[in-house]
């Protein structure tokens, strides 16, 4: 028997994050954390490096610095067919339409797949992005995700956002929207 949607424990985290984000007023807030019940299969140094990637994103987003954001994406970034140039356009459009962007990431799992130079970090995350509309002045939810997997790869000595693993599916599963920003 299927469980009701709200019986999933992390679903409430998403609701709380979204509600706090929308109530935040005019100041964008950023938060990246690991769930207390999170499963972490990497050493503390790697955890710190992964957290640093998302903290750098928070800083770049708060500053509206498109080049600093794009530096966090892998050269071979691919999210369901979207490449780095596509993500650059999405971020540029967001900065044109919104101010005081805020984001939240709650990691529930961090694992390594593969080894050596082929290693990929899979970060399972619940979170959101919102911003103040330059047109209406209202805080607008831009994106939200539940248990989405962010893929990171080692490039130039640092972890970078890679997109998703594998080929682009012809059709996304019902109820599954793409979340290319991270």
Determine how many CB atoms are found less than 10 A away from the CB of residue 135: 9
Give me the chain's average pLDDT, please. 81
182 — pLDDT class (breaks 50, 70, 90):
low
CA–CA gap between residue 126 and residue 11 (Å, rounded): 8
Q: Please name each of the domains of the chain with its CATH number.
A: 10-162 (3.10.450.50)
29 — pLDDT class (breaks 50, 70, 90):
low
Contact 53, 123 (CB under 8 A): no
The region of weakest confidence among 27-36, 71-80, 117-126, 154-163 is: 27-36
Determine how many CB atoms are found less than 10 A away from the CB of residue 110: 22
CA–CA gap between residue 47 and residue 151 (Å, rounded): 14
Task: Identify the helix (H) or strand (E) that includes residue 162.
Answer: strand 158-163
Contact 33, 13 (CB under 8 A): no
- Claim: this prediction has a pTM higher than 0.75: yes
Higher pLDDT, 102 or 164: 102
Task: Identify the helix (H) or strand (E) that includes residue 149.
Answer: strand 139-155
Higher pLDDT, 65 or 116: 65
Say if residue 154's pLDDT is above 90: yes
| pLDDT at 79 (0 to 100) | 86
Say if residue 13's pLDDT is above 50: no
């Amino acid at each position: 028997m299927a469980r009701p949607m709200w019986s999933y424990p992390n679903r409430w985290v998403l609701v709380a994050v979204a509600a706090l984000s929308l109530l935040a007023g005019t100041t964008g807030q950023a938060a990246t954390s690991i769930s207390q019940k999170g499963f972490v299969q990497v050493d503390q140094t790697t955890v710190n490096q992964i957290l640093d990637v998302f903290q750098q994103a928070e800083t770049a987003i708060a500053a509206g610095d498109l080049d600093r954001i794009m530096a966090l994406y892998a050269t071979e970034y691919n999210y369901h067919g979207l490449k780095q140039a596509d993500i650059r356009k999405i971020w540029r459009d967001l900065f044109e339409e919104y101010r005081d962007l805020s984001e939240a990431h709650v990691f529930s799992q961090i694992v390594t797949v593969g080894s050596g130079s082929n290693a990929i970090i899979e970060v399972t995350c619940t979170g959101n992005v919102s911003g103040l509309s330059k047109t209406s002045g209202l805080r607008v939810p831009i994106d939200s995700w539940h248990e989405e997997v962010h893929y990171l790869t080692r490039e130039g000595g640092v972890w970078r956002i890679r997109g998703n693993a594998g080929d682009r599916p012809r059709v996304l599963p019902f109820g599954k929207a793409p979340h290319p920003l991270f």
